[in-house]
């Protein structure tokens, strides 16, 4: 529908028993190191091998993948034009396994991004795996480096009946540079996902479509 190339990198069980990204390890949180470097390198390989627009490259993820997406986008602002964090955590919100569990349980904060990084966040307010406070923190991490933006809030209900609140931060030219979608009654699952998938909430708003709509407003350079 959108004419995009999409890569779905997979984590082997040998790297993480739950096949999750190791977003909480310092060696996987920085440019040129660990999993952050692997995902950045994979992206550059795709750009070289396929007719992809390097100015319109984006990254998104769910849960540990959302935290990893935030890390990779912050480490490679010369590669990614925007990031989506769904039910995830802010970049560098933990430094080891104990602090990771504490962050998932109660929320955490991360270091503000050094450069402007358009960010869209989705989080279910009934998420019992990753505390919804992490969604607030993910957006707060992005805002300090943004240009002057106008904040507004609207409410809606998805076709599946999920009430949600959307907080938008828009530039004077009309583009939204930061969005926070808070979904009532939703747990730890991708909003609007197919019922046959794992960790999906078909009743929620269509996060995939909304992220692509958000992403395509932005390009590097």
Q: Are 104 and 129 contacting, i.e. CB atoms less than 8 angstroms apart? A: yes
CA atoms within 13 A on the CB side of 87: 22
Residue 2's pLDDT is: 86
User: Which two tokens mark 55?
Assistant: 């100015």
Residue 19's pLDDT is: 94
Q: Are 85 and 40 contacting, i.e. CB atoms less than 8 angstroms apart? A: no
3-class state of residue 182 by DSSP:
strand
Q: What is the pLDDT along the chain (221 residues), one digit of tens a residue?
A: 888 999 999 999 999 999 999 999 999 999 999 999 999 999 999 999 999 999 999 999 999 999 999 999 999 999 999 999 999 999 999 999 999 999 999 999 988 999 999 999 999 999 999 999 999 999 999 999 998 999 999 999 999 999 999 999 999 999 999 999 999 999 999 999 888 988 999 999 999 999 999 999 999 97
Residue 60's pLDDT is: 98
Residue 138's pLDDT is: 97
Across the chain, where does the E strand assignment appear? 58-62, 82-86, 119-124, 150-157, 163-170, 176-183, 190-191, 200-201
pTM value is: 0.96
Report the alpha-carbon distance of residue 203 to residue 199 in Å, rounded.
12
Report the alpha-carbon distance of residue 166 to residue 122 in Å, rounded.
9
Residue 66's pLDDT is: 98
Residue 193's pLDDT is: 85
Residue 36's pLDDT is: 97
């Amino acid at each position: 529908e959108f004419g995009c190339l999409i890569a779905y990198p997979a984590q082997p069980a040998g790297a993480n028993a739950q096949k999750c990204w190791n977003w909480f390890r310092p060696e996987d949180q920085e440019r040129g190191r660990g999993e952050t470097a692997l995902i950045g390198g994979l992206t550059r390989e795709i750009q070289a091998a396929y007719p992809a627009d390097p100015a319109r490259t984006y990254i998104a993820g769910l849960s540990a993948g959302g935290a990893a997406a935030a890390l990779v986008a912050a480490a490679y602002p010369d590669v990614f034009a925007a990031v989506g964090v769904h039910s995830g955590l802010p970049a560098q919100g933990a430094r080891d396994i104990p602090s990771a569990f504490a962050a998932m349980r109660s929320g955490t904060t991360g270091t503000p991004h050094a450069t402007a990084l358009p960010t869209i966040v989705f989080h279910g307010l009934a998420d019992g795996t990753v505390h919804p406070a992490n969604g607030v923190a993910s957006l707060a991490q992005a805002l300090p480096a943004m240009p002057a933006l106008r904040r507004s809030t609207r409410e809606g209900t998805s076709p599946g009946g999920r009430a949600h609140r959307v907080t938008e931060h828009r530039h004077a030219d009309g583009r939204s540079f930061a969005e926070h979608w808070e979904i009532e009654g939703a747990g730890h699952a991708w909003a609007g996902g197919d019922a046959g998938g794992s960790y999906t909430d078909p009743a929620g708003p269509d996060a995939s479509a909304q992220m692509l709509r958000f992403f395509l407003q932005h390009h590097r350079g």
